[in-house]
Copies of this chain bind each other. A is one copy, B any other.
Amino acid sequence: MGKMISSIVNMKNGFDFKILKTSAKSKARRGILKTPYGDVQTPAFVTVGTKGTVKSLTPQNLEHVGTQMVFVNTYHMVVSGALSVVAKTGIHQFSGIQKPIITDSGGFQMFSLARQSPHIIQGEGGSSEQPPHLVKITDDGVEFRSPINGDLFYFTPEFSIDAQRRIGSDFAVAFDECVPYGSSDEYTKNAMTRTHRWAERSLQQFNNQTKKQLQQLFGVIQGGCFEDLRKTSAAFISSLPFFGLAIGGVSVGETKKEMREQMQWVMDGIQRDSRPRHLLGIGEFDDIVDAVAMGIDTMDCVIPTRHGRMGKLYSFKKSKVKNKNDSILVENILEIDIIKSQHKSDLSAIDTDCMCYTCHHFTKAYIHHLFKQRELLGYHLATIHNLHFVEQFFSRIRSAIEEDCL
């Protein structure tokens, strides 16, 4: 396996992003993201494999469902204690996932998970108003306790970049502070300013490293729910020499309207930028379509895999599939709750047109039985189906852009 990887790397040394076409109807872009682990056709879904495993699936299964790229969380790799082991081989060999992998900075989980922790450290730095209680944030970095065992961790831009390098992802993300929903203008502005300084430090640390040809860095645009801050952040982050631009903190917006507003402010600020654009943590079907229409190239989200494990399975309505525009694309998706008793005796597949292993071999009745009995195979088969479905959905999106229908 080691040999195989080397030959791939030699064959395609380096990274590239090409925009093949922009839709005549929107800002949607059809592109190719070249990586040492293969080409990613964009817009692309990035499947979440938090701890170096897409929950319940083997790398072989990922191949089958058509996964193009995987997202691993630096926070979890560090807090779980796996970092030192992963560092020995790199995440691709460790996990067996022979796909391009992006790691995040650790910021998002640190703030969101640490806030749920019983280990309270009084916040410092930031504004005098309501600081995130469970972490200690200074301009230098973030100290927090593991919600699992209370161990103390200290993340800085330098630590995050080093950790991501040790993980060996293809794409790393600059260290950032993600503010909670409802943060004030002042608090959000301070966090953004800190994120900008951390972006510069992340870049510097990244460039200081010797072996940089096999990893690229994304900057993160923050700014919360404030138009001026989002635009300031878009302008600042895009002025730095990152390989790509990520948009953070949009997923914490309470309404879809607020989410779209924030995305629009950012996209307006970077519309002429030809670098790849990644939207962090977004992935409901209507959000996907709107994000792509605004010019997003890649996005990661736990929803399809989490829904799978919850028994929420996707299906295309067959009655009026036209694939002509975005609203029809989304309106034709059904979410089946397989645990409901109405599926107990249903001998049809989840989606009769679906070509995935699950739909090809099993009925709704069997999947229902597995979920009712909490059988592990249920989560496996459901995850296969949902991921295959999402990849098909992105394939339709790419076709729609090529045909100027989105």
Residues of A within 8 A of B (CB): 1, 51-60, 80-82, 84-85, 88-89, 94-96, 344-345, 347, 357, 361-363, 365-366, 369-370, 372-373, 375-377, 379-381
Q: Which residues of B contact A372 (CB under 8 A)?
A: 80-81
On chain B, the residues within 8 Å of A381 by CB distance are: 58
A380 touches B376 (CB 8 A): yes
Q: Do residues B51 and A369 form an inter-chain contact, with CB atoms below 8 A? A: yes
Could you tell me the distance between the alpha carbons of A1 and B349 in the complex, rounded to whole angstroms?
Answer: 13
| Interchain residue pairs A-B with the least CB separation, the first 8 | A56-B376, A53-B377, A96-B361, A82-B369, A85-B365, A53-B375, A51-B373, A85-B345
A84–B346 Cα gap in the complex (Å)? 12
Q: Are A80 and B373 also in contact (CB < 8 A) when A89-B347, A96-B362, A362-B96 are?
A: yes
Please tell me if the beta carbons of B52 and A85 are within 8 angstroms of each other in the complex.
no
A58 touches B344 (CB 8 A): no
Q: Is the CB of A366 within 8 A of B55?
A: no
Which residues on B sit within 8 Å (CB–CB) of A347? 88-89
* A377 CB contacts on chain B under 8 angstroms: 53-58
Residue in chain B with minimal CB distance to A309:
B376
Residue of B nearest to A94 (CB): B366
Least Cβ–Cβ distance between A54 and chain B, in angstroms? 8
- The distance in angstroms between the C-alpha atoms of A363 and B91, with both chains bound, is 12
The distance in angstroms between the C-alpha atoms of A362 and B94, with both chains bound, is: 7
In the complex, 12 of the A-B residue pairs with CB atoms within 8 angstroms, ordered by the A residue number, are A51-B369, A51-B373, A53-B370, A55-B377, A56-B380, A57-B377, A58-B357, A58-B361, A80-B372, A81-B372, A94-B363, A96-B361
Q: A80-B372, A373-B80, A376-B379 are in contact. Are A95 and B366 (CB under 8 A)?
A: yes
Instruction: Name which of A81, A344, A366 has the most chain B CB atoms within 10 A of its CB.
Output: A366
Closest chain B residue to A370, Cβ basis? B53
Report how far A376 CA is from B361 CA in the complex, Å. Answer: 21
